[in-house]
Amino acid sequence: RVARFEHWDDLAEWNYGEFEGITTPDIRRSVPGWTVWSGPTPGGETPAQVGSRADRVIGRVLPYLERGDVALVGHGHMLRVLVVRWLELDPAFGARFVLDAGGLSILGHEHETRAVLRLNEPALNEPA
């Protein structure tokens, strides 16, 4: 097989709008209880909008899966939404799936049902 690399804008990280580069504790000083999953993101994306992008990625990947495995590389919050949309859950459920930087997750099927086969495995083994 020949590897094929493409850049897909739909895999870009969540657009945090005016909150880009600001930590959650700093945002919570003006918006108590804020989370990206449930709070406002002025000038940015809602969970539903990120979910729509994830749905487009999944739609684009499905034909490739008929021919073999596909590897996707992206950023944390977007990949969390991708996981839950693969499972056909609401994008806000991504809050319940934590992915570490460089972690490996495998989405697939158990019979005909979309499933998480592996989630957030370390990319490198930790030294003993």
User: How is 34-46 classified by DSSP, letter by letter?
Assistant: --TTTS--TTS--
Range of the domain at 95: 9-121
- Tokens 């919570």: give the residue: 28
pLDDT band at 21 (very low <50, low <70, confident <90, very high): very high
Query: How many distinct structural domains can be found in the chain?
Result: 1
Output the domain CATH number for residue 91.
3.40.50.1240
Flag whether 98 is in a domain: yes
- Residue 24 CB partners (closer than 8 Å, separation 6+): 34, 35
Flag whether 4 is in a domain: no
Flag whether 23 is in a domain: yes
Flag whether 33 is in a domain: yes
pLDDT for position 5 = 81
Flag whether 101 is in a domain: yes
Q: What pTM, to 2 d.p., does this model score? A: 0.90
Flag whether 26 is in a domain: yes
**How many angstroms separate the CA atoms of 26 and 32, rounded?**
10
Q: Is the pLDDT of residue 7 over 90?
A: no
**How many angstroms separate the CA atoms of 102 and 92, rounded?**
22
Flag whether 46 is in a domain: yes
Residue 2 per-residue DSSP state: -
Flag whether 127 is in a domain: no
Nearest Cα neighbor of 37 from 125, 110, 96 is 96
For the chain, give the percent of residues with pLDDT over 70. Answer: 94
